[in-house]
Amino acid sequence: MSFYQAKNLFFSYNNKPVLQGVNLAIEKGSIVSLLGPNGTGKSTLMKLFLGLLTPKSGEVILKGKALQSYSIKERAYHVSYVPQSTQVAFAFFALDIVLMGRIAFETWFKKPSQADIQLAREAMDRLGILHLEKRTFQTLSGGEKQLVLIARSLAQGAKILVMDEPVSGLDYGNQLRLLETIMNLSQEGYTFLKSTHFPEHALMLGGYTYALKDGHILAHGLTCKTITQELINELYHTNIELKQTACGYPVCIPSFIHTKH
């Protein structure tokens, strides 16, 4: 049995089917990318994996137990969520945001312990952002904010990170730095389930890919074998060619590039 898996998931909003018989398996320490157009059920699937939604039928299983059988605190020991962005109404320092990862195990009004602060600072130092601890969250760049949110997950102690389009809104440099962070943490034993609109990013990270279309798994397997130009064209109604570069890395070339002079 897989470390973390969905078995025959069905879900609908107001009787409109969103996911229909989805099966997905995640191995410990792996990177799993969800690929597919908007509205195909990626975000819903991640919410089911987080326990924020309850499937109409089927179940999500974590370490051999139904996810719904875990308490909220028990889930927090295992799984954390890294959103695209976080709106912060007050002028919290970056360290305060990371410390929020410890709230799952404390009450909102309890003052963080020295042990909590140490864990938070260690998480930031691990990602190379300890120098940001006294910067207010609103003043950080998009890439810095994402790293702070990942540090919050590390401080939480969870070894599974669920990420919703993590590079959305980031400039190219920050996209690459974030992808490198995901790869490095995976090599340390962290497990990732992430959605993306960029096939090339999934190819950079390797691991496994599940392609969703109309609420069904259209294809799945090792990323290097699953992502083909035929799959991309079917998913997104495009006309691209997947070409190997001189260093062996595949890139997507749209058809209009060939005809533009």
- pLDDT value, residue 210: 98
Q: Tell the residue number behind the tokens 């995640």, with chain if given.
A: 26
- Which pair of tokens denotes residue 169? 């809104």
- pLDDT value, residue 261: 46
- Residue 217 one-letter amino acid: I
Rounded Cα–Cα distance for residues 148 and 94 (Å): 7
pTM: 0.90
pLDDT in tens, 98-117: 998 887 766 655 677 889 99
- Which pair of tokens denotes residue 30? 């792996």
Q: pLDDT averaged over consecutive 10-residue blocks of the chain (261 residues)?
A: 88 92 95 94 94 94 94 90 73 91 69 88 92 93 89 92 88 89 93 94 94 95 95 93 80 74 46
Extract the runs of DSSP E, i.e. beta strands, from 14-56. 16-26, 31-35
Q: Please report, for the chain, the start and end positions of each structural domain, with discontinuous segments joined by +.
A: 4-227, 228-261
Overall fold of domain 4-227? Rossmann fold (3.40.50)
Rounded Cα–Cα distance for residues 45 and 83 (Å): 14
